[in-house]
Structure 1
Amino acid sequence: MTLDLGSSPRRRFLSLTGAAAGLAIAGTLPGITASTASGVEKEDLRGYPFTLGVAAGDPLPDAVVIWTRLALDPLAPFGGMAARPVAVRWQVAEDERFRTIVRSGVAVARREASHSVHVDVRGLRPWRHYYYRFLVGGQVSPVGRMRTAPAPWQSPASLAFAFASCQAYWDGFYTAYRDLAAHDHDVVFHLGDYLYEIGVGTDAGVRRQPVPDEFARETVTLDEYRGRYALYKSDPDLQAAHASAAWIVTMDDHEVENNWAGPISQDDAPRDEFLVRRANAFRAWWEHMPVRAAQSPSGPDIRLYRRFQYGTLARFNLLDTRQYRDDQAAGDGTKAPNPGSLDPNRTITGKEQERWLLDGMAQRSARWEVLAHQTAIAQLDTKAGPEVLVPMDTWDGYVASRKRILGGAAERGVRNLVSIAGDLHRSVVSELRPDYADDASPVVGTEFVGTSISSAGDGEDLDEGGRTILAENPHVKFGNFQRGYVRCEVDRARWVSDFRVVDRVTVPGGTVTSRARFAVEDRDPTVHTV
């Protein structure tokens, strides 16, 4: 390809892109957590800078992270912002009209961080609703609402939350997020595939939305990942969902590349080259997510796994099953169990994260112990008849990890183990056993896999693949192949999961209904319909 490198804005963009890429590799994130703006001139931007909305995340009993990114022209390089830093005022209040402001300050939005702002607001009260906003000059952001977590010793009567995943922009509208935003959730979990590295096409698929030509390419550079996040976050329904509650986010594969595994690219790119791409992807993820400084990347490395305690009622273990996993067995795909998938030394979590998880389970600090992660733990035989074929990218490709985690939970006396996951683009409810090859292996937990927000288009109630999974896996109790998300209501006596589905996502204005509701009783991991 021939590029015109004359004295054009495009040349300046390419030059600055190179500098930003260097920062991604170095892991330097200058200024984005600053709480003061000394020496930064306040300005009244010519245009509205809050086009990507606001978000809150990672709630603790006394703290929450609030986020925004300034972008006058979201799909333009650097969001159409000038190079200079911008002072951004922020406020947290007890009421939506901001009559009782409890915390406030000034942060600096800098170009090297895409003019994103992360503020770790401290000194809040446990289990309280708060409202937040940002101000630049005469412009005011949308108002976001969030709730802090309970104190560790508190025992909340109930907890309402939602989880979602997989939102390919070109495959459908985010109608499910419109529904999610209309409900009152204490917290929302996003379990991966927030964006897709695949090109969206010049008309953004079913959305028929003109986008710059470069959006048809697969993301590789830092600026390409930044642009893709800007496109996704420009969606009004996604913005509304973010503004409705604090989110806890992790990532799966498509935030980098499909089915990557540790330092290994699916496309067999040279390792050093792939690690540069991974650094770019991690950097852009950080810039666009409401997460703490502890989750800022150091080049191609990032600490995603962490815990969130909701008093004595529930504890969420947010996992990372991409960065530390061994390469998929037998060349990936759907295969029969094989020496690779059955290898006792192979892992989907890595040894350090596995130890962290099992040591935490030994504490037994909450009634409900939750694994919030990327993909299905339960065995999913996808072949009709006596032959067993299972996906190598799920925990079926890492059988020893499944045995160690599920068996370890039982050995440590975990009272109620629940797995919530995504990735499959279908809803699946299963009972978890440490060893599916042993008929005597006990049920030790319950798994709720949520479908996609939009990926795979409209779908149908139950496709042929879903019928096969139900027929071949007696531990699977429900399947659905429509788009949507899952709402959960948890109290001391039981857990209820409500599978919300959209009739059509390929057109705007689809209808969202409750397809099925399943309950798990305290101390009984079997599932039943409600």
Structure 2
Amino acid sequence: MVTCVKRRTFVLGGVGAVVLPRHRVVAGPFTLGVASGEPDPDSVVLWTRLAPVPLAADGHGGMPRADVAVEWQVSPDASFRQLVASGTATARHDEAHTVHVVAGGLRPDFEYHYRFRAQGHLSPAGRTRTAPPPAAAGRDLTMLFASCANFEAGYFTAYRRMAEERAGLILHLGDYIYEGVAKPGHVRQHLGPEILTLADYRRRYGQYKVDPDLQAAHASAPWLVVPDDHDVEDDWAGMHRLDNLPPLSAAQWVQRRTAAFRAYYEHLPLRPRSAPAGNAMQLYRRVPWGRLATFHMLDTRQFRDPQACGGGSKKCADADRPGRSLPGLAQEKWLLDGLAQHRGAWDLIGQQVFFAGQLNAAGVGNMDAWDGYRASRDRIQRGWVQRGVRNPVVLTGDIHTGWANDLKADYTDPRSPVVGTELVCTSITSRGDGTAKTSIPAGDVNPHLRFYSDRRGYVRTTITPAQITADFRGVDAVSRPDAAVRTLASFALRDGRPGVNRL
């Protein structure tokens, strides 16, 4: 039985589809929906979690201690009349009854539908897609990217609008959840105190993933995901905490990070190679999309040096120290080695924090972004120039506003050549409704920053061998549900010509 509270429904997928109400659903064990991700030419990861009581305080979603068999099916049509892959997976109690299925034997560059069955219930159906084969460009790709979805800051309407785009791929660049205590006066409220334990993190994911707008976005396309700070703790860097709030011992900090990594993997469609090993998790990886593009997904938290001068926005000579690295020296080498392979027409670097130089009028930069690790940024930019990378494009989240930036060999010299492009998505909800402001902050000292928006939303890209068209999509408000979305600005990135061109 489906219990509805409030208005407006959204149907997910073919026979056996459930109707998701706009605000709440109770439908057997599949209250958190379904997801897919990590596509390659012949396989994709399918995800679900059994949780009839998703907000249970123990983090186990109301499930018994027993493991549960879960059937899965993949079909080329939404009716599921023909199955091209199927099987049974085990949802284990120790893993919060989550399921990660690597569905293989699929056709490259092809659209599929998938669903699960468990305990006499059929899940919603999801739509997914495989990548093109290595030697083929494949079809043009519509790719969306987003970040920073603070449940308290507003409704997840931008996720609903993303679902309506019917994209081929979605990137989430961090802050999928927020870890903080409930704050009064917000649009919605987190359950409970600041999350610290595995049960806390699982319950917080349950609160986010029960949202039907987020479920719709997951069910619409495969995702590639990387976490940022709030998925663990605000502004963390390697084994360093920028502050000690709440106060934690070194051992407690390790426990928190371990719990956060485990819950992140449990709740997102990642391949088994990304499963955490205690206090570490393999998150940086390369995902080829035929000859069209290569996605280089970075981890900019786990291996970074601590923020210079205690973080914040300030002048700091330590930001120029040659040995400092934001992704870590090993990951820098991994990235440049991958860029040197020239696999696709476009090299798309999915990462978390502002990459271009960005100073305020007083010459102050953000020590948590790449301005706090300037030698590291310079090594990467010089590295891709030396390797003849034709189309490097950095995709960024974190900052809660939208930007389109030219990347410069020397950010202090306006005459310096443009060596790449950065597109920065705004937040799904963080910072609330935003404003209509479009003037670039400190634009006179940052002429390479070409666009700014303070609306919430996402970026829609259309990727062809000759051009990427980037549309900055903004919702009118997040303080009320169901707001409309509109294109705020569009830019063209042209093959072999770094930088942004406004359309």
**TM-score normalised to the size of structure 2?**
0.92
The whole-number CA distance in structure 2 between the counterparts of 1:47 and 1:357 is 44
Question: How far 1:138 moved relative to its partner?
Answer: 2.3
Q: Percent identity?
A: 48
User: Is 1:444 paired with 2:419?
Assistant: yes
The letter of the residue matching 2:328 is: G
The letter of the residue matching 1:377 is: F
- Map 1:342-357 onto structure 2 (within 5 A): 342-357=320-335
2:338 — aligned with what?
360
Q: Secondary structure at the match of 2:447?
A: coil
User: Is 1:417 paired with 2:419?
Assistant: no
1:28 — aligned with what?
none
Question: How far 1:339 moved relative to its partner?
Answer: 2.2
User: Is 1:220 paired with 2:199?
Assistant: no
User: Is 1:272 paired with 2:251?
Assistant: yes
Contact 2:31–2:54 (CA under 8 A) maintained in structure 1: yes
- Alignment root-mean-square deviation, CA: 1.5
**Between structures 1 and 2, the one with greater helix share:** 1
The one of 440, 443, 468 equivalent to 1:495 is 468
Contact 2:414–2:447 (CA under 8 A) maintained in structure 1: no
User: Is 1:51 paired with 2:31?
Assistant: yes
**Pair 1:51–1:492, CA change in 2 (3 A):** same
Question: How far 1:194 moved relative to its partner?
Answer: 0.1
2:456 — aligned with what?
483
Contact 2:440–2:450 (CA under 8 A) maintained in structure 1: no
The whole-number CA distance in structure 2 between the counterparts of 1:471 and 1:235 is 42
The whole-number CA distance in structure 1 between the counterparts of 2:243 and 2:199 is 21
The whole-number CA distance in structure 2 between the counterparts of 1:467 and 1:352 is 35
**Pair 1:441–1:290, CA change in 2 (3 A):** same
User: Is 1:474 paired with 2:474?
Assistant: no
User: Is 1:521 paired with 2:502?
Assistant: no
Contact 1:308–1:317 (CA under 8 A) maintained in structure 2: yes
User: Is 1:233 paired with 2:231?
Assistant: no
Q: Secondary structure at the match of 1:378?
A: coil
Which stretches of structure 1, 4 residues or longer, exceed 4 Å deviation after superposition?
none
CA offsets 1:287-308 (integer angstroms, 9 cap, x no match):
1010011000011100000011
CA offsets 1:108-166 (integer angstroms, 9 cap, x no match):
11111000011011111100001100001321000000000000101124111100000
The whole-number CA distance in structure 1 between the counterparts of 2:353 and 2:269 is 22
User: Is 1:376 paired with 2:354?
Assistant: yes
User: Is 1:326 paired with 2:310?
Assistant: no
Q: Secondary structure at the match of 1:274?
A: helix
The whole-number CA distance in structure 1 between the counterparts of 2:443 and 2:170 is 28
The whole-number CA distance in structure 1 between the counterparts of 2:221 and 2:389 is 29
Contact 1:157–1:492 (CA under 8 A) maintained in structure 2: no
Q: Which runs of 5+ in 1 are unaligned?
A: 1-45
1:151 — aligned with what?
133
The letter of the residue matching 1:282 is: F
Question: How far 1:440 moved relative to its partner?
Answer: 4.7
Stretch deviating more after TM superposition (469-478 or 58-67): 469-478
The letter of the residue matching 2:408 is: R
The whole-number CA distance in structure 1 between the counterparts of 2:409 and 2:318 is 18
2:78 — aligned with what?
96
The whole-number CA distance in structure 1 between the counterparts of 2:415 and 2:501 is 21
1:262 — aligned with what?
238
- Map 1:53-92 onto structure 2 (within 5 A): 53-76=33-56, 77=58, 78-92=60-74
Contact 1:426–1:482 (CA under 8 A) maintained in structure 2: yes
Q: Secondary structure at the match of 1:488?
A: strand
Q: Which runs of 5+ in 2 are unaligned?
A: 1-25
Question: How far 1:439 moved relative to its partner?
Answer: 4.3
Contact 1:201–1:216 (CA under 8 A) maintained in structure 2: no
**Pair 1:135–1:333, CA change in 2 (3 A):** same
Aligned length: 473
The whole-number CA distance in structure 1 between the counterparts of 2:86 and 2:156 is 32
The one of 221, 224, 227 equivalent to 1:245 is 221
**Pair 1:345–1:513, CA change in 2 (3 A):** same
Q: Secondary structure at the match of 2:394?
A: strand
CA offsets 1:1-50 (integer angstroms, 9 cap, x no match):
xxxxxxxxxxxxxxxxxxxxxxxxxxxxxxxxxxxxxxxxxxxxx96100
Question: How far 1:200 moved relative to its partner?
Answer: 3.0
Question: How far 1:82 moved relative to its partner?
Answer: 1.0
Q: Secondary structure at the match of 1:471?
A: coil
Q: Secondary structure at the match of 1:286?
A: helix
User: Is 1:206 paired with 2:187?
Assistant: yes
Question: How far 1:403 moved relative to its partner?
Answer: 0.4
